[in-house]
Amino acid sequence: MNNKYITNTVYNALTNKYLFARMFSMRYTKKQFEAEYPNDDACLEAVFQDRYGNLKVCPSCGVIDAKFYRVKKRQCYACEYCSYQLFPLANTIFRKTTTPLTDWFYAVYLFSTHKNGISAKTLERELGVTYKTAWRMCKHIGLLMQQENEQLIGEVEADETYIGGRHRGKRTGPADKEPVFGIVERNGRVMAKHVKSTGARVLIPLIEANVSPDNAIMTDQYGSYKSLVRRGYNHTTVNHSTLEYVRGNAHTNTIEGFWSQLKRSIDGTYHAVSPKYLQSYVDEFVFRYNFRGVAVGPLLLEKVSKVVL
């Protein structure tokens, strides 16, 4: 396993041996999934354990090592001494849902096994729920894959691209395209963001937030990157206009490869993504890229208790 996979999320997983073993076993089969989450009680218990399993003291009566028992017919647990109630689903993507937790968990499982994501239409068919419910579920499950702020290290490549501009099979002008900016570690992780413009005022703060100046950064000769040297970066540029694509170590092939995968995926799965949802699509794609080679099912299911709405 490449060291660069050690992201915040993986670091958290490392501290949870059970999750770690399940993720890095590479496979998470439907059989395993069904054995772990056979019914709504098992799903609720999993979220409760992830969220409150390490609770040492009752937040209300202060009794140390108080046990919390499941309250019958309610989605909550109560302190054995003072009856203080904990609601594991509060503020999670499952809050106030009328959809069975088994359906939610299965939907998360489906997301983890489909490399290019799944559409609301597919979810509607698989779960037998309404399209509206399926659409809402997709949107909420997408939140589990939101990008975290992480520092990219080593040799990184930064680049901007334009996505979209294809409606009902017709190519339209660049005015319809949306700019996306990205930074990638060679053999490592990527961050990508839908931006308002590709001006220096937008791109430089994003670089400064994600890469510290002691790393080597490669870009093309686009004007927005001009100030990087002055800002202390070890900045190398690649001049695409003279066919100088690879000069020694100076290339942007990794990020360009990432862009073409992203565009192929959008064309293949969604045909077009409206600007409003572009970032959530990019987030999902980045998530799958950063966790390539590991089973993301257990990770996504564990994240349910961590993503607070």
82 binds Zn ion (CB under 5 A): yes
* Cβ closest to Zn ion, residue 84 vs residue 289: 84
Which two tokens mark 242? 């003279």
CB of 67 to Zn ion, least distance (A): 10
CB of 66 to Zn ion, least distance (A): 5
Question: Edge-to-edge strands of the sheet including 216-220?
Answer: 190-194, 177-185, 155-164, 216-220, 234-238
CA angle 63, 64, 67 (to 5 degrees): 85
Stretch that binds Zn ion, among 72-80, 103-111, 137-145, 240-248 (CB under 5 A): 72-80
81 binds Zn ion (CB under 5 A): yes
69 binds Zn ion (CB under 5 A): no
The end-to-end CA distance of the chain, in Å, is 32
Stretch that binds Zn ion, among 55-63, 99-107, 168-176, 194-202 (CB under 5 A): 55-63
55 binds Zn ion (CB under 5 A): no
84 binds Zn ion (CB under 5 A): yes
- What binding mask, one character per residue, do residues 221-250 give for Zn ion by CB under 5 A, x or -? ------------------------------
> 172-204: buried (b, 16+ CB within 10 Å) or exposed (e) per residue?
eeeeeebbbbbbbbbebbbbbbbbeebebebbb
76 binds Zn ion (CB under 5 A): no
CB neighbours of residue 156 within 10 Å: 25
Per CB under 5 A, contacts with Zn ion among 120-159 are none
CB of 56 to Zn ion, least distance (A): 12
79 binds Zn ion (CB under 5 A): yes
Which positions touch Zn ion (CB under 5 A)? 58, 60-61, 79, 81-82, 84
